[in-house]
Amino acid sequence: MIDLIHVTKRFGATTAVDDISLSVARGELCVLVGTSGCGKSTTLRMINRLIEHSEGEIHIDGQQIRAFREETLRRRMGYAIQSTGLFPHWTVARNIGLVPRLLKWPAAKVQARVEELMALLGLSMEEFAGKYPHQLSGGQAQRVGVARALAADPDILLMDEPFGALDPITRESLQEELRELQARLHKTIVFVTHDMDEALRLADHLVVMHQGRIVQQGRPLELLREPADGFVESLLGGEDRGLKEAALLPVSQRMRPLGAQSPADERIGQHVSLREALSVMLWRHAERLTVVDDDGQPVGELSLRRLVGARSDD
């Protein structure tokens, strides 16, 4: 869906992005991560031509982006940023309907789309449609920003540190909502963050950037298990990589069928992460957990020895 081919961006004598190549498949959530100034936000903004690339080619669905008018290209892509970019003097409903109105959708269609997206993102029409941005919490404002980015039903969604200014609890909640939203909508998403936990939690395809270059890319588990160099290893958490890997794997991958011995008193859901299972074991002083399905019925067991044993082939 998105191809960057030997792309470079220079600002005067400074090279901000240096000869990078990257392909993002249709329906994939690709996360660009790295330290401040590594070129990740510049890379994102080159995709919708907010910044023009100096060398190389960028293709969207097989076509070079410079074949499109800038306005046409940007209206095909949703764009969500940390500060939300909402118009302060417009209501929530009017902010969400901005791009469909620019595309001259009929008023009834715009209204229906606003109502659909507000419901999708857990914003009651009665409570929020007439509010202004200053009347919203940070999490509510970000939901409105995401709704506006999705309003014209774009195939591509670009997100630049969208949750960066939020408190940890709200941030984690919105990360989970984004994953659930993506499971339903299957958009092609490029997401920029400097937070490695956020990157690992969200990414289908993880891209690590350093000093304007891509130093490694692939599935999160691949990078955790085989970092390309010391920089990637450090960025991924160093000696904490084991815990970060455990946060990506569900209990169902390590549980065993229920044995003849009586079930453990402590229970845990099969979709919960191994990291959370380990936390429960430590907190409850339990060496075994009974694993239950969505209906609360026992389906297996997880022992501490099994949890820290051989890796899954996932």
pLDDT along the chain (314 residues), means of 10: 96 95 96 93 95 96 92 88 86 93 92 92 91 92 90 92 85 88 92 93 95 95 93 90 90 87 86 92 91 91 83 48
**Quick one: pLDDT at residue 127?**
93
Could you tell me if 106 and 195 lie in one domain? yes
SS3 219: coil
Of 242, 270, 286, which closes a domain?
Answer: 242
**Quick one: pLDDT at residue 57?**
96
Q: What is the CATH number of the domain that holds 297?
A: 3.10.580.10
Could you tell me if 32 and 146 lie in one domain? yes
Residue 110 in any domain: the answer is: yes
Could you tell me if 38 and 156 lie in one domain? yes
Could you tell me if 183 and 290 lie in one domain? no
In 65-209, which ranges are continuous DSSP H helix?
70-75, 92-96, 98-102, 107-120, 125-128, 138-150, 168-185, 196-202
Do 3 and 59 form a contact (C-beta atoms < 8 A)? yes
**Quick one: pLDDT at residue 54?**
96
Could you tell me if 143 and 259 lie in one domain? no
Residue 194 in any domain: the answer is: yes
C-alpha distances out from residue 113 to 59, 80, 91, Å: 29, 18, 15
Of 223, 242, 261, which closes a domain?
Answer: 242
Could you tell me if 137 and 274 lie in one domain? no
Could you tell me if 103 and 178 lie in one domain? yes
Residue 180 in any domain: the answer is: yes
- Determine phi and psi for 141, rounding to 5 degrees: -65, -40
The total number of structural domains that make up the chain: 2
The total of other beta-carbon atoms located within 10 Å of residue 260's CB is 4
Residue 313 in any domain: the answer is: no
Could you tell me if 175 and 270 lie in one domain? no
Q: What is the CATH number of the domain that holds 166?
A: 3.40.50.300
Do 34 and 209 form a contact (C-beta atoms < 8 A)? yes
Q: How far apart are CA 90 and CA 253, in angstroms?
A: 48
**Quick one: pLDDT at residue 83?**
75
Could you tell me if 257 and 235 lie in one domain? no
Could you tell me if 207 and 275 lie in one domain? no
Of 189, 216, 242, which closes a domain?
Answer: 242
**Quick one: pLDDT at residue 11?**
95
Could you tell me if 227 and 284 lie in one domain? no
Residue 314 in any domain: the answer is: no
Residue 156 in any domain: the answer is: yes
Do 34 and 47 form a contact (C-beta atoms < 8 A)? no
Q: How far apart are CA 299 and CA 248, in angstroms?
A: 21
Q: Which residue range(s) make up the domain with 290? A: 249-307
Residue 312 in any domain: the answer is: no
Residue 256 in any domain: the answer is: yes
Could you tell me if 284 and 195 lie in one domain? no
